[in-house]
Amino acid sequence: MNLVTILVMGLVTLALGTTLSLRAPERLRPAAEFTLRQLAPLALQLPLAILLASFLSELLPPAAIAGLFGRESGPWGIVLAALVGGALPGGPMASFPIAVFLWQAGAGPAQTVALLAGWSVFALHRVIIFELPIMGWRFSALRLLACAPLPVLAGLAAALLIRLTGVSLSP
């Protein structure tokens, strides 16, 4: 499974890289530099972030997670997951390990969808660091208001789709 994903991604990267080198060879170097620049902090931070999430998941009892966010937690579990997702601090490096450990500890798929959607839309660190200073508070308020219902809607739609199609998602 993992190997297939890696293989597909490798082939797509190779194909796009070849396209780039044929169409705009001078842009290959910036692409390589960008990758290396992002890779340096990542190689150290990602394992540490995963370790932190792993320790935290030991501290939270799985029964409590299943009770709050489990398949049986229903719409309130979806609302709670969306709120928790919105409050998750930090970028994808911090949030995805938390999401995956919660999912493995018994959070339902619809609740996990709501959690990730909540984090994607609200991401408070992004609002404070990038959006407020660049776009101003009126735009931020408009965007946050317009996006506020989305995570819960995503969770409810996921629950409905799972019930209708019987698709089984498990970690």
Partner 1 sequence: MSPSSPRREAGVRGWLRNAFRGPTLVFAGGSLIAGIAVVQLRGTERATAAIVDAAAMSLGVLPQVVLGLMLGAVLQQLVPHETVGRYLGRESGLRGLVVGTLLGCVTPGGPFASFPIVYALFVAGAEAATLVTYLAAWALIGVNRMIVWELPFMGAEFAVFRWLICLPLPLLAGLLARAIVTRTRLKPEAPEAGR
Alpha carbon distance 104, 91 (integer Å): 20
Evaluate whether 44 touches 83 at the Cβ level (below 8 Å).
Answer: no
Mark residues 135-154: x for contact with partner 1 by CB under 8 A, - for none: xx-xx-xxx-xxx-xx--xx
Kindly indicate which of the ranges 6-14, 66-74, 76-84 contains the residues binding partner 1, using the contact rule CB under 8 A: 6-14
Which residue number, 66 or 97, has a Cβ lying nearer to partner 1?
A: 97
* Token couple for 50: 């995963």
Among 78, 79, 103, 111, binds partner 1 (CB under 8 A): 103
Q: CB of residue 171 vs partner 1: minimum separation in angstroms? A: 8
Kindly indicate which of the ranges 1-9, 66-74, 76-84 contains the residues binding partner 1, using the contact rule CB under 8 A: 1-9
The verdict on 40 binding partner 1 (CB under 8 A) reads yes
- Backbone torsions φ then ψ of 169, nearest 5 degrees: -110, 125
Mark residues 75-94: x for contact with partner 1 by CB under 8 A, - for none: ---------------xxxxx
Among 22, 56, 102, 106, binds partner 1 (CB under 8 A): 56
Alpha carbon distance 96, 102 (integer Å): 10
Kindly indicate which of the ranges 62-70, 77-85, 106-114 contains the residues binding partner 1, using the contact rule CB under 8 A: 106-114
* Token couple for 29: 């170097």
Which residue number, 73 or 103, has a Cβ lying nearer to partner 1?
A: 103
